[in-house]
Amino acid sequence: MKVNVNLTGEINQMKEKGIKPNFSDLARRYGSDRKTVKKIWDNDGKPKRKA
């Protein structure tokens, strides 16, 4: 799975500012799934893979 670097950067900026993002909006803008965006948010910029 390839994650958009801009998406990861934007999520990291939001974390630094203490802003919780709208996962659906970010997913639409970056052509990703909202669940993937949530996983990136929860795991510090890296999507968690299933075992």
pTM of the model: 0.75
Query: Is residue 17, in this structure, part of any structural domain at all?
Result: yes
Residue-number span of the structural domain to which 21 is assigned: 5-42
Residue 50 lies in a domain: no
The confidence score (pLDDT) of residue 49 equals 67
Provide the number of structural domains found in the chain.
1
Query: Residue 4 has what pLDDT?
Result: 77
pLDDT in tens, 17-51: 999 999 999 999 999 999 989 988 998 766 666 66
Angle at which helices 34-42 and 23-30 pack, to 10 degrees?
A: 110
In terms of DSSP H, where are the helices of 1-51? 5-17, 23-30, 34-42
Residue 21 lies inside a defined structural domain of this protein = yes
CA distance 24 to 34: 5
48 within domain boundaries: no
Residue 23 structure tokens: 């996962």
The residues, any chain, with a CB within 8 Å of residue 35's CB and separated by 6 or more, are 23
Residue 21: predicted pLDDT: 93
In a domain, 49, yes or no: no
Kindly state whether residue 51 falls inside one of the protein's structural domains: no
Residue 34's pLDDT is what? 94
